[in-house]
Amino acid sequence: MRSIITGDESWVHHYDPESKMQSMQYRHKNSPAPKKFKVVASARKVLLTIFWDMEGIVHIEFLEQGTTINSERYVSTLHALKGRLRRVRQDKVKDVVIQHDNARPHTSRQTQCALQQLELPTIPHPPYSPDLALSDFFLFPFLKKHLKGNHYETDAEVEADVRSWCRSQTPEFFADGMRKLVQRWRLCIERDVDYVEK
């Protein structure tokens, strides 16, 4: 587990409304229900790409407005990741194994060639298995819960808050995520590759 570095992408909105649970108010049983208006997430958003391991965040970057994740961009991210590994995880650069889902930019021929060239082996990810994508079921829900209800004027404000939240998490938080991945792998095997909800 110590050699696994997991990575994924997720949209981060300038404003994401609170959930019903977060916006609940205490009221007397005879008082009228508060009026609530339907609120939706803002259209302004940035795409976060993050790689992390049992110790914490290894590499984080945000995509410029108007660009998308494709193979070329993902290869550029992998090169940046390898450089960052040399600086922050020198002891495990040679032993690292990448765990990411099977989105097209992650599985393209161009990406596979770059992974070989960079000597970054990957853990095979079964198709249609979002339940085994570690960031999707562990990291992003906690991050988005923190961001809910906050208003950001600029991309820089969003990025600063995301980085601040990531720095505030302990190594035990990240190690717990890795342990949860192993639990899901076991459940998947026990259920004969059936989908794992929780």
pLDDT, greater one: 57 or 182:
57
Q: What is the pLDDT of residues 135-161, one digit of tens each?
A: 999 999 999 999 998 999 999 999 999
Q: Which two tokens stand for residue 97?
A: 């194994």
Q: Give mean pLDDT, residues 13-21.
A: 70
Mean pLDDT of the chain, nearest integer: 85
State the pLDDT confidence band at 22, using cuts at 50, 70 and 90. very low
pLDDT at 198: 52
Please report, for residues 22, 45, 47, 59, 60, the alpha-carbon distance to residue 155 in angstroms, rounded to integers and kept in the order given. 24, 7, 10, 18, 14
Q: Strand 45-53 and strand 56-63: pairing?
A: antiparallel
Q: What is the pLDDT of residues 33-60, one digit of tens each?
A: 555 444 445 568 999 999 999 999 999 9
pLDDT, greater one: 45 or 29:
45
pLDDT at 38: 47
Percent of the chain past pLDDT 90, that is, above it, reads 59
d(CA 73, CA 32): 53
pLDDT at 43: 67
Where does residue 32 rank: exposed (0-12), middle (13-18), buried (19+ CB within 10 A)? exposed
pLDDT at 84 over 90: yes
Topology adopted by domain 4-15+40-190? Nucleotidyltransferase; domain 5 (3.30.420)
All structural domains of the chain with their residue ranges = 4-15+40-190
On the CB side of 69, CA atoms within 13 Å amount to 22
State the pLDDT confidence band at 177, using cuts at 50, 70 and 90. very high
State the pLDDT confidence band at 193, using cuts at 50, 70 and 90. low
pLDDT at 37: 47
Q: Which two tokens stand for residue 7?
A: 């990575």
pLDDT at 149: 86
